[in-house]
Amino acid sequence: MYQIREYRDADYTAVRMIYSTGFREHVGTVYLQALKQPWAQALLCGAFLLIQVFFGSFLTCIMGVGGVLLIIRMSVQYFFEQGIQLGLNEDLSDIRSSYMQTGSKSSFWVAEEKGSIVGTVGILPCVEEPGAWELKRISVKREFRGRGLAKALCKTALDFVARHNVRRVVLFTSMVQTDAHKLYNTIGFKKEEEFVWPSLPGRLIKFMVFKYSHGTGDVMSF
Ligand SMILES: CC(C)(COP(=O)(O)OP(=O)(O)OC[C@H]1O[C@@H](n2cnc3c(N)ncnc32)[C@H](O)[C@@H]1OP(=O)(O)O)[C@@H](O)C(=O)NCCC(=O)NCCS
């Protein structure tokens, strides 16, 4: 049986690991999203035709297309790692000072089972929307999923801010985190905005970011 408790400094490495692993597991889906883009298909067809014209060998064409697929895969992987590093270097670089300043309305929790950290969540004032709080770093180790851990973690965070009279909580997720969308709908969040991730890779892949919101008055309903 798991227990949910506040973050302690000894959890630092485990929390960062759960975040990185949970983020990284979506790389395959983003790669497929990249391959759906017209520029990727044009690149693959172009490589095939060019090699066919210059070398006239079907096997070389297949190898060339394989090479292009590999380059796209490695580029997606590279941008993913950049995204992970961003999180690790932002709030997760010093979890205590990001989330747990005395008297603040922010906090960070972990789910612990048999002495191991198996899930995480944090909540803090939203930079993009002053006056709202943002739920962040929701992640559960794969082998502990489907048992209500994420739901319990989110409820802990929402109850906490509701006690501090926070009335609006938001979160940002992406088009590929489909399990998370189900979780957010279950606990009363509503999608209110979607936009392309404002960056060159985001525009190239048409990588959509979703903003969800929750009135903490609804917190008792799940
Ligand atoms: C999203 C995530 C945190 C869910 O964790 P979890 O502990 O399995 O979630 P829970 O067991 O608490 O499920 C809560 C609800 O979400 C839904 N849900 C979660 N995963 C689901 C899945 N794979 N299929 C269907 N529904 C799912 C269920 O409907 C469940 O509601 P219910 O209890 O009313 O049936 C987990 O999949 C994860 O860590 N993913 C990788 C990291 C990530 O993408 N984080 C989100 C960042 S925005």
Average pLDDT across the chain, whole number:
94
Per-residue pLDDT tens over the stretch 132-167: 999 999 999 999 999 999 999 999 999 999 999 999
Per-residue pLDDT tens over the stretch 42-98: 999 999 999 999 988 889 999 999 999 999 999 999 998 999 999 999 999 999 999
Residue 143 has a CB neighbour count (10 Å cut-off) of: 8
| pLDDT > 70: percent of the chain | 97
From ligand 1's centre to the CA of 150, what distance in Å? 6
pLDDT at 221 over 90: no
Of residues 173 and 57, which shows the higher confidence score? 173
Q: Are 107 and 157 in contact (CB under 8 A)?
A: yes
Considering only CA atoms, which residue is closest to atom 21 of ligand 1?
179
Considering only CA atoms, which residue is closest to atom 44 of ligand 1?
177
CB distance 177 to ligand 1 below 6 Å: yes
Q: Are 153 and 3 in contact (CB under 8 A)?
A: no
CA trace torsion 196, 90, 73, 53 (10° rounding):
70
Q: Which domains does the chain have, with CATH numbers?
A: 3-8+102-221 (3.40.630.30)
From ligand 1's centre to the CA of 139, what distance in Å? 9
